[in-house]
Structure 1
Amino acid sequence: MAESKLVMLVDTKRCIACNSCAVACKVENNLPKDVWWNRVMTVGGPHLDAPSGTYPNLEMYNVTVACQHCENPACVKVCPVGATYKDPETGVVRQDYDKCIGCRMCMSACPYNGVRSFNWEEPVYHLDFATGDQDVAPHQKHVVEKCTFCWHRLAKGLSPACVEACSARARIFGDASDPDSAVSQKLRERSSMRLLEDRDTEPSVYFLR
């Protein structure tokens, strides 16, 4: 596979905070009870779906928060056993559960709060059967987990589950190293922002404005 730079675009003008992306992620990856790799947050007032300002001058948009799959990931630098690593061919930041020793250094180093979870005990599920893709790595006790950009789907040439589930078509996923890709075209056409750009992590998730 040729080296690529996989990125996620989230169109803040189209996102309606339906949480389909978060639910699709949970089901596809058979996430344990109370574990979410993807969340939708409102930028506006003090509450979910609440705008800032005074009527009629109101402002609000939604930001989806998950692992940012940084080009310069702080988590990779601090992992003592190489359990957190960056795939050289795609740029996806991955976790090797079998190597993870549960030190949680990656969680401490990551500037994006809440994008990782730690399994303190054997994973517990809402259902008594597994959901999602059979190629998802089994969840384990005493390991750190996070969004994988649905690595098991990428290996089959598919997009992450959150992209396919987005009814508003607010998510675009692709190779930013290809100037003709949909993500490259959108980044040229629209202004965008990334979370905590001052931390020099170079996130691979862009929010179109």
Structure 2
Amino acid sequence: MTTCSRRNFVSGVGALILTTGTIVSLKAQGESEKQEKPKRYAMVHDESVCIGCTACMEACRETNQVPEGVSRLEIIRSEPIGEFPNQEYEFFRQSCQHCTNAPCVAVCPTGASYIDPTTGIVDVNRDLCVGCQYCVAVCPYRVRFIHPVHKTADKCNFCRDTNLAKGKQPACVEACPTKALTFGDMNDSNSTVARKVRENPVYRTKVQLGTEPNLYHIPFGKGEHR
């Protein structure tokens, strides 16, 4: 028969307290991390109200000093839908998707392409970029380009260093006359962008690649509901 000495009993209680304290500590740490969840900025383009005016494109170009010949943002018009004189058009926003699993970041040899850990924004550090164009080649959305002046990779960064730095919305959002663009933090369930995605049929492009894009579209017709 095994006996339990006073010393063994005290040691066992101490171990239990230590283990319990660790569990409580880990639980508290988990709750703290949950409360401090970083932002995940995203954008919704509502194709049902976009009129293709390209005001967003011009605002982007002016605010971010994008030279002629290249563009961070394009609004692509579809072929005519319906018969004249009742024809309609669909307008599609093509720009950086700010992928959670960004292939451009994975292939960058210098670390110039990166995901901002506080916002989820995919950006480029010009000081580190050597213009190798690996990121341009691997982007499945074909939205990166080499800046003709800086000779480094460039693309939409949600106006991170311009409007966002001043506490404003991205230039395209502010310029849209029909409010077709919504921007905000998808990790905040009460944000306008999170509610927009939750309450509308939306779609994202090339999700089968596993990129987890953060550009959502409300379709002209009907789309898959997320």
- Under TM normalisation by the shorter chain, which class is it? 0.7 to 0.9
3-state SS of 1:195 partner: coil
Q: Does 1:149 align with 2:158?
A: yes
Q: Does 1:96 align with 2:136?
A: no
What is the CA deviation profile of residues 30-56 of structure 1, one whole-angstrom value per residue up to 9, with x for unaligned ones? 11221211000123x2xxxx22x5569
What is the CA deviation profile of residues 47-87 of structure 1, one whole-angstrom value per residue up to 9, with x for unaligned ones? xxx22x55699664211111110011010000000000000
- Unaligned residue ranges in structure 1 (runs of 5+): 124-139
Q: Which residue of 1 is the match for residue 108 of structure 2?
A: 79
2:63–2:171 Cα contact (<8 Å) kept: yes
Q: Which residue of 1 is the match for residue 170 of structure 2?
A: 160
Equivalent in 20, 26, 49 of residue 61 of structure 2:
26
Structure 1 or 2: more helix by fraction:
2
CA RMSD of aligned residues (A): 1.8
What is the CA deviation profile of residues 157-200 of structure 1, one whole-angstrom value per residue up to 9, with x for unaligned ones? 21100000000100000011111111111111101011111211
Equivalent in 35, 41, 50 of residue 6 of structure 1:
41
C-alpha separation between the residues in 2 aligned to 1:177 and 1:165? 25
2:110–2:129 Cα contact (<8 Å) kept: yes
Larger radius of gyration: 2
Normalised TM-score (structure 1): 0.82
Letter aligned with residue 120 of structure 2: G
C-alpha separation between the residues in 2 aligned to 1:54 and 1:197? 33
Matched positions, count: 183
% of aligned pairs identical? 40
Letter aligned with residue 194 of structure 1: R
Normalised TM-score (structure 2): 0.76
Structure 1 or 2: more strand by fraction:
1
3-state SS of 1:101 partner: coil
C-alpha separation between the residues in 1 aligned to 2:45 and 2:93? 8
C-alpha separation between the residues in 2 aligned to 1:33 and 1:16? 23
Letter aligned with residue 73 of structure 1: A
